[in-house]
Structure 1
């Protein structure tokens, strides 16, 4: 019986010794790291575009990602030099923000800005995110593949063709957003009646400059004349020039023109000194002498609208009043 007991006890002891001699792997490294989507879109020229993070699929941190072999996805040739070229850009200094109430001249604005040189695309080695800035306007259209070398305590592993970058031109929906649109009629005694809301549209006419040409038009496409007093302010409520004051708004026979300097425009919501949050709103009035509202005679027209232009360039923004006819004088 003693011999049998000794034999039984020897088996687990041998297993422990064998296990203690085996190499213990340090950490975990997944074979399935990935982006949420393996196609990353860059809308060239936008102020800031960021991809999703790489999902490390439970791999042991800390880890490091390195982009490798960026190339044309069709030909396999190395990506063009524009990806790695530094371009000069005006950016806000660290900790500096735009204030429409106090940044009233280009000189004051420039005290908060500096010129930096950066490539149009940067790769974050901690998150694996791709970050594109406005210098991406210089990137050639196309599709580009890349590999990622993943390193953690377990070692390094190369993931080939982890994702592709699609360089595309932004659509007008990427460059322009409507934040508000409404309208009222008002009688001589200031009785207000809700009317059909205006419809805003935008057309980019040039990549140059930073300009909005704002037109308020009637249902037939006829532009009201701000120079002749057909478009006027509404008391102390915000208007076009309230959102950016360092360049005066220029009036023509058909439009209000604003050079906004820095995108997005408006860059921030307008907060009055008394704390009122006006958002991105613009208030105007078309006196009843110059306009006729369908089924609402002898009323001023009071359009209220908000919009943002999200990148530099020259744009025509039209505010169409669907139930209003211009009365020429």
Structure 2
């Protein structure tokens, strides 16, 4: 019996020793890493486009990613070298931001900016994110897939054709967004009544320059005449030119024209000297002698709107007042 017990204890010792000598796996490296969407859209020429991070499916950190074998999806040929070529990119210096109150000339603005060398596409080796900048305007349209190699404490693994980059032209919805739209009528005694909010539309005329042609029109599409005093400012509230003062706003017989120089426009929220944050808001008044509001005789019209243009070019922005008719003198 004693001999049997000795044998039993010896067996346990040997098994324990063999288990203790067995190599323990260092962490976990999943076979199922992925992006949220398999297709990553590069809207070429936009200021900043960023993909989602790679979902590591519970893999043990820290991890590192490497983008490999970028190639044309249909032909299998390597992607054009322009993806990896460096271009000049004008950008704000670290810690510098635009201030509409003080950055009133291009010279003052340029003191806050610098030209750096950037490739159109950058790959974040820690998150796996793809980042595209304004120089992506140089990329050819098309679909390009790529492999990713992932490394973590467990080892490394190659994931062929993990995702596809599709280079596309941005739509007007990518380049332009409405942030606010409202309107009121007001009497000579400054009694205000809400009226139907404006309808705001934008169309891109060309890729040249950095210009907004702003038109305020009645329900029939007839434009009010800023040059004739049919569109005037409202006290100390922000106007078109409040958001960028590099060039004087031009008054024509049917529009206000602003050369904004750099996108986005407005670059940032407008905060006045008293600390009030006006966002992107623009206030105007159409005097009552130039307008008839449905159901409200003898009222001024006060459109309030906000928008942002996210890419350089020439745009026509139309502010249509659905409850208003222009009165010609």
Range with bigger deviation, 137-146 or 94-103: 137-146
| Offset, 1:27 | 2.7
Match of 1:259? 259
Is 1:12 aligned to residue 12 of structure 2? yes
Match of 1:193? 193
Match of 2:282? 282
- 2:12 is paired with a residue whose SS is helix
CA offsets per residue over residues 214-248 of structure 1, 9 Å max, x none? 00011111111101111111111110000111211
Match of 2:162? 162
Match of 2:44? 44
| Offset, 1:26 | 2.7
Q: Which runs of 4+ in 1 moved over 6 A?
A: none
In 2, the alpha carbon distance for the partners of 1:9 and 1:289 equals 107
- 1:41 is paired with a residue whose SS is strand
Q: Mark the runs of 5 or more structure 1 residues left unpaired by the alignment.
A: none
CA offsets per residue over residues 273-301 of structure 1, 9 Å max, x none? 11112111111111112111112112111
| Offset, 1:23 | 2.6
In 2, the alpha carbon distance for the partners of 1:123 and 1:60 equals 21
In 1, the alpha carbon distance for the partners of 2:211 and 2:314 equals 5
* TM superposition score normalised by structure 2: 0.97
- 1:307 is paired with a residue whose SS is strand
Match of 2:94? 94
CA offsets per residue over residues 184-216 of structure 1, 9 Å max, x none? 112222222211111111001111211111000
Match of 2:125? 125
Match of 1:273? 273
- 1:65 is paired with a residue whose SS is strand
In 2, the alpha carbon distance for the partners of 1:186 and 1:5 equals 103
Match of 1:139? 139
- 1:34 is paired with a residue whose SS is coil
Match of 1:238? 238
Match of 1:180? 180
| Offset, 1:30 | 1.5
1:28-107 to structure 2, matched below 5 A, reads 28-107=28-107
CA offsets per residue over residues 260-319 of structure 1, 9 Å max, x none? 122111111111111112111111111112111112112111111111111111110000
CA offsets per residue over residues 16-68 of structure 1, 9 Å max, x none? 22223333333322211111222111111111111111122222222210000
In 2, the alpha carbon distance for the partners of 1:227 and 1:154 equals 71
| Offset, 1:97 | 0.3
Match of 1:323? 323
Match of 2:116? 116
In 2, the alpha carbon distance for the partners of 1:213 and 1:145 equals 40
| Offset, 1:89 | 1.6
In 1, the alpha carbon distance for the partners of 2:199 and 2:60 equals 53
In 2, the alpha carbon distance for the partners of 1:144 and 1:112 equals 36
CA offsets per residue over residues 50-100 of structure 1, 9 Å max, x none? 111112222222221000000011111111122112121210000000011
In 2, the alpha carbon distance for the partners of 1:58 and 1:286 equals 60
Range with bigger deviation, 57-66 or 280-289: 57-66
Range with bigger deviation, 177-186 or 13-22: 13-22
- 2:278 is paired with a residue whose SS is strand
Match of 1:305? 305
In 1, the alpha carbon distance for the partners of 2:102 and 2:298 equals 40
In 1, the alpha carbon distance for the partners of 2:76 and 2:309 equals 37
In 2, the alpha carbon distance for the partners of 1:146 and 1:169 equals 21
- 1:4 is paired with a residue whose SS is helix
In 2, the alpha carbon distance for the partners of 1:297 and 1:81 equals 65
